[in-house]
């Protein structure tokens, strides 16, 4: 703990604040007040909101970051504001939990990691999809070796946006850093890296053919690892029927996740299907397919749980670490660079 932070506090309590009280800020609020290890003291937001339980509302995120009575902050600000808030929090000796994306450029990500190292405090980025129960089960199955070597993956993640999207900061490249890939597709890209952590090449096309704004409304990419694993990704904001799908095919079988538990419930039920011990190729069939449906989403609580353990017990960050973030943002940069080449459908 940074010596500038007063030691007079309830033992085992992490005094924290939330920067930004939009969609993610309210989710973090709910789970922090339910966890006895946290003491949520203050929230920053530019618009009036109603808070209970003695939680203070401030209009300036800077005043929260600068508060010496706080040990940690949860950064739920728009993309373009995140880097300055995170770096300043580390300069004030705070632990930081930051929502995705980890900056809007590789340089921003590197600046955050440099500040975190200098502070010697905890940094965790919010990539809750790795904590979804179907993804946890898929990772266990792939890592077990039961299915043999990973061959290829295919991911699709899509939603729609409303007519007011053009008035939102997410529609401005300078403020968001990119379009649907930076907004939602980055979760899917992070999952591809979860199963294959080293992609060295990307081919991509992006388009803004429907919303016709500054950022892409669809992005298709194929990435390749040094040992030949291929993965394709489609990230879209013109998916009128919301969809999440991650398919993983290996030498001896497959693991497929369809649907995703969410607060909106728009992605359907979360289900994993897997099969192994197939008959010999080329007429390969599986004698038994296992399907499991999940009804509870523990991802948000599991994220704050790992953050608390890192602060209070010195345990390492295993999901959403700085290394994860830098690897991800370098791949995002590679994908956008290829999509912007002459001849692509949309050049940001």
Please tell me whether the overall predicted TM-score, pTM, comes out greater than 0.75 for this model.
Answer: yes
Is the predicted pLDDT of residue 291 greater than 80, yes or no? yes
pLDDT digits (tens, 9 = 90+) for 37-67: 999 999 999 988 888 888 999 999 999 999 9
Q: CATH classification of 14-121 is 3.50.50.60, yes or no?
A: no
Would you state the pLDDT for residue 279?
A: 67
pLDDT digits (tens, 9 = 90+) for 194-217: 999 999 999 999 999 999 999 999
Alpha helices in 171-298 (DSSP H): 173-176, 180, 186-195
Is the predicted pLDDT of residue 273 greater than 60, yes or no? yes
| DSSP 8-state code for residue 150 | E
| Mean pLDDT across the chain | 93
CA distances from 221 to 48, 185, 207, 218, 234 (A): 41, 11, 12, 10, 7
pLDDT digits (tens, 9 = 90+) for 152-167: 999 999 999 999 999 9
Map out the domains of the chain as residue ranges: 14-121, 130-296+329-339
In this structure, CATH architecture of domain 130-296+329-339: 2-Layer Sandwich (3.30)
| pLDDT band with cut points at 50, 70 and 90 for residue 113 | very high
From the list 182, 187, 179, 234, the residue with the least C-alpha distance to 208 is: 179
Would you state the pLDDT for residue 10?
A: 64
Per cent of the chain over pLDDT 70 is 92
Is the predicted pLDDT of residue 7 greater than 50, yes or no? no
Q: Dump the DSSP string for 204-219.
A: EEEE-TTT-SSS-SEE
Is the predicted pLDDT of residue 348 greater than 70, yes or no? no
Is the predicted pLDDT of residue 347 greater than 50, yes or no? no
- E strands within 208-269? 218-224, 230-236, 238-250, 254-258
Residues 6+ apart with CB under 8 A from 303: 97, 124, 126, 128, 131, 319, 320
What does DSSP say about strands 14-19 and 123-126: parallel, antiparallel, or unpaired?
Answer: unpaired
SS3 state at 159 = strand
Q: In the numeric block, which tokens belong to residue 188?
A: 């899917």
């Amino acid at each position: 703990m940074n010596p500038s932070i007063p030691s007079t506090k309830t033992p085992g309590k992490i005094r924290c604040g939330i920067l930004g009280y939009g969609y993610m800020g309210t989710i973090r609020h709910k789970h922090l007040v339910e966890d006895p290890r946290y003491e949520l003291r203050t929230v920053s937001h530019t618009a009036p909101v109603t808070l209970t339980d003695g939680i203070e509302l401030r209009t300036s995120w800077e005043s929260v970051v600068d508060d010496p009575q706080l040990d940690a902050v949860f950064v739920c600000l728009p993309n373009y504001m995140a880097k300055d808030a995170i770096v300043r929090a580390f300069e004030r000796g705070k632990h930081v939990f930051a929502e995705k994306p980890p900056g809007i450029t590789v340089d921003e990500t590197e600046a955050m990691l440099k500040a975190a190292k200098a502070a010697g405090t905890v940094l965790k980025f919010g990539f809750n999809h790795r904590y979804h129960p179907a993804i946890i089960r898929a990772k266990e199955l792939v890592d077990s070796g039961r299915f043999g070597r990973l061959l290829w993956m295919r991911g699709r993640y899509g939603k729609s946006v409303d007519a007011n999207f053009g008035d939102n900061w997410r529609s401005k490249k300078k403020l968001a850093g990119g379009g649907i890939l930076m907004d939602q597709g980055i979760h899917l890209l992070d999952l591809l890296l979860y199963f294959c952590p080293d992609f060295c090449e990307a081919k991509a096309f992006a388009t803004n053919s429907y919303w016709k704004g500054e950022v892409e409304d669809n992005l298709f990419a194929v990435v390749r690892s040094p040992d030949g694993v291929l993965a394709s990704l489609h990230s879209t904001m013109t998916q009128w029927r919301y969809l999440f799908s991650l398919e993983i095919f290996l030498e001896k079988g497959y693991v497929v996740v369809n649907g995703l538990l969410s607060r909106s419930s728009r992605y359907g039920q979360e289900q994993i299907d897997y099969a192994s011990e197939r008959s010999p190729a080329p007429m390969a069939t599986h004698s038994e397919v296992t399907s499991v449906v999940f009804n509870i989403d523990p991802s948000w609580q599991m994220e704050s749980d790992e953050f608390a353990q890192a602060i209070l017990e010195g345990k390492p960050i295993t999901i959403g670490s700085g290394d994860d973030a830098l690897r991800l943002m370098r791949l995002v940069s590679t994908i956008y660079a290829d999509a912007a080449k002459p001849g692509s459908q949309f050049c940001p």
